[in-house]
Chain A
Amino acid sequence: MRPSVRKSVFAGIAGLSLAGTVAGCAPSATESTPAAPAGSAAATSAATPSAGSSSLAGSGATYKDGTYSADGNYVSPNGTETVGVQLTLAGGTVTAVDITQHPSNPNTRKFQGEFAGGIASQIVGKNIDELNVSKVAGSSLTSGGFNQAVEQIKSEAQ
């Protein structure tokens, strides 16, 4: 059985927790902003990054360390929408993912904070990939845009 679109997104970034954090950046033209490789302890790759370049797991290609952002588009029932994706690459591993809904929405961020704080004692999320389900009922429409942005980052980071 062909996996659903949504599933393939998460398979594509296996090992990452795709927290729907809304970063506060304003919509920008698709630009890459390599930052100094932060000494993030989250990098689990055993390979020692040399000259700021190493391979992203599973891809075989090499990518430069840094923080990259790109916008992707997806079409909702109400037209074309944009999702911002920011990836931090360190030692050949993706160490952080931020999803931004454009334009940035302070109210959404507030809700996210509240939800993250209040959910533990009440509703708990489980990773969909770990559940035995055939379908997902929800209203996210971002998978296509996310994949598109990741592809762009991959090409820029080489």
Chain B
Amino acid sequence: MPGEDWEDFGFEGIGTQWEISTPFPLAQSVRARLLNRVEEFDAAWSRFRADSRVSIMAREPGRFGFPDEAGRLGPLYRTLYGLTDGAMTPLIGASLERLGYDAGYSLKPSGSPLPAPPWDEVLKWDGTIITTTLPVVLDIGAAGKGLLVDLLADELEAEGIDSFVIDGSGDLLARGPQSTQVALEHPYNPGQAIGIVPLAGRALCASASNRRAWGDGWHHVLDGTTGQPVRTAVATWALADTAMLADALATALFFVPGARLEQAFDFSWLTVFSDGSAAHSAEFEGTLFT
């Protein structure tokens, strides 16, 4: 898509639409390799399949081995858990399920929001090994899609492909010399954009609180310390070197001001609030329509 005659490979994975654009068509063997990687990821991390590692953890405590990517994910979640005073946690799942965001997708709240259990009481995340003291519902939704974008990039690079754009339904990663013009989707009107950002050699991810909303004002972004939804920011974007980081930080912007996150991470950010105002770091200067 960035070049006039680039080729797109589209497929469905982890419940969403993907598109990988390259200067040349991807060989059948490469496509198969990518799809296989998506399946492996889903088999480990999906809350929505009974045979996943995560689903087994939800039934009984114990010591669980996860794929290699767990080694990237754990430290990032741990850092953000600290920076957000526990608001951003992979243990939010129990609260989400109680609010109706369950595997059966009942959308019917079955009780008051449950605060997430303190990390250190129930979870030890050591590299690729996760040990739990209680059945826990692990939800890596805040960084999972970005992580899979990075993992697919690894597969492409292992095949010697170094120019591409991966689009996981709006979470983007570009590698190679080309620059791609990316519209920032209007939080309340998917037919409109609020700005344009050039993307080259990095990842751009977004998070919004108005999608996937249900019930009496519950939004899908929950504060782990109270179990209550977060309401101030309505849409966020983060530019970073990896999609996992950009994805996680786009969510973290709902809990922590961008300026504070900037002290801990090398990234650029944009936050749009419910009154239509915006705050952003220097790189987003001049990208918004006013």
- In this assembly, does B206 line the interface, its C-beta being within 8 Å of a C-beta of chain A? yes
In the assembled complex, the Cα of A129 lies from the Cα of B208 at a distance in Å of 21
* Interface flag for A30 (CB, 8 Å): no
| B286 contacts chain A at the CB level, 8 A cutoff | no
Chain A nearest Cβ from B1, distance in angstroms: 5
Known: A78-B220, A131-B196. A111 touches B274 (CB 8 A): yes
> What residues of B have a CB within 8 angstroms of the CB of A36 in the complex?
none
Number of interface residues of A (CB under 8 A): 56
Determine the chain A residues whose CB is within 8 A of the CB of B94 once the complex forms. Answer: none
Complex-state Cα separation, A9 to B8, whole angstroms: 18
Nearest B residue to A2, CB-CB? B8
Q: A147 interface residue, CB < 8 Å from B?
A: no
- A residues 109-134 touching B (CB-CB < 8 Å): 111-112, 114-129, 131-134
Q: Say yes or no: is A50 at the interface (Cβ < 8 Å to chain B).
A: no
- Residues of A within 8 Å of B165, CB to CB, are 134-135
What is the CB-to-nearest-CB distance from B98 to chain A, in angstroms, rounded to a whole number?
14
Is B184 within 8 A of A77, CB to CB?
no
B5 in contact with A1 (CB, 8 Å): yes
Indicate if the CB atoms of A128 and B191 lie closer than 8 Å. yes
* A75 nearest CB neighbor, chain B only: B15
Option from A77, A81, A105, A136 in Cβ contact (under 8 Å) with B14: A77
Instruction: Point out the residues of chain A lying under 8 angstroms from B217, CB to CB.
Output: 105-108
Q: How far is the CA of A109 from the CA of B216 in the complex (A)?
A: 11
Given contacts A77-B16, A118-B276, A137-B185, contact A111 B192 (CB under 8 A): no
Q: Chain B: residues with CB nearer than 8 A to chain A? A: 1-2, 4-6, 8, 12, 14-17, 19, 47-48, 101, 103, 105, 107, 141, 144-145, 165, 167, 169-172, 180-197, 199, 204-208, 210-217, 219-220, 231, 234-235, 237, 272, 274-278, 288-290
7 A-B pairs (CB sep. < 8 Å): A76-B212, A79-B101, A101-B213, A128-B193, A134-B2, A135-B167, A144-B17
